[in-house]
């Protein structure tokens, strides 16, 4: 299985958003950059059998942008297990119980949850000093997905690389 892990794009700051954090949206810059990043992801080329996202608005918007770029709106699903308070063991159980079993999965969520998930899948512990930047993307591969050391890091791309800011 190939697991892609994407942190949501730039959202409004907590100073700009005074309502429930669950409803905090992407900023206009975040949405614009995410559309460019999604196009770049398509050009790499990547593919997904399913896109699984946190239902928090900023992650949901990020996932919708990717799903639109890949013409996969019907393959987009949401899980509370990807929220900041989600249970990563339940997330892994959910992913492994999907039918038909997916070969490639994109997970869209939040920090520090995603870095701790990546750390656990790579090392068996959540202690790996890793922080995904907003709209950062990780590729992991595994022959058998478990909530323990089971995966290999294929690559990690920062948003600057995906946006081609160095050109």
Task: Band the pLDDT of 121: cuts 50, 70, 90.
Answer: very high
Write out pLDDT tens, residues 92-103. 999 999 999 999
Q: Is the pLDDT assigned to residue 166 strictly greater than 90?
A: no
pTM flag (> 0.85): yes
Residue range of the domain that includes 134: 2-162
Closest CA to 162 of 140, 142, 132, 141: 132
Crossing angle of helices 28-43 and 57-69, rounded to 10°: 40
The reply to whether 128 falls in a domain is yes
Cα 54 from Cα 82, distance rounded (Å):
5
- Tell me whether residue 158 is in a domain: yes
Is 144 within a domain? yes
In a domain, 167, yes or no: no
CA distance 101 to 159: 29
pLDDT digits (tens, 9 = 90+) for 129-156: 999 999 999 999 999 999 999 999 999 9
Q: What is the pLDDT of the chain when averaged over all its residues?
A: 95
CATH number at residue 17: 3.40.50.1240
Looking at residues 55-62, what average pLDDT do you find? 98
Q: Count up the domains in the chain and report the number.
A: 1
């Amino acid at each position: 299985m190939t697991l892609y892990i994407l942190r949501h794009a730039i959202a409004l700051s907590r100073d700009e958003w005074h309502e429930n954090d669950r409803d905090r949206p992407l900023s206009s810059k975040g949405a614009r950059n995410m559309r460019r990043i999604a196009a770049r992801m398509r050009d790499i080329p990547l593919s997904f059998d399913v896109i699984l996202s946190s239902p928090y608005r900023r992650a949901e918007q990020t996932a919708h942008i990717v799903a639109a770029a890949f013409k996969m709106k019907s393959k987009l699903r949401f899980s509370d297990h990807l929220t900041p308070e989600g249970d990563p063991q339940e997330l892994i159980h959910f992913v492994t119980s999907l039918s038909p079993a997916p070969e490639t999965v994109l997970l869209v969520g939040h920090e520090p949850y995603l870095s701790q998930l990546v750390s656990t899948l790579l090392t068996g512990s959540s202690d790996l000093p890793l922080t995904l930047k907003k709209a950062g993307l990780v590729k992991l591969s595994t022959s058998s997905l478990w909530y323990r050391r089971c995966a290999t890091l294929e690559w990690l791309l920062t948003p600057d690389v995906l946006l081609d800011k160095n050109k």
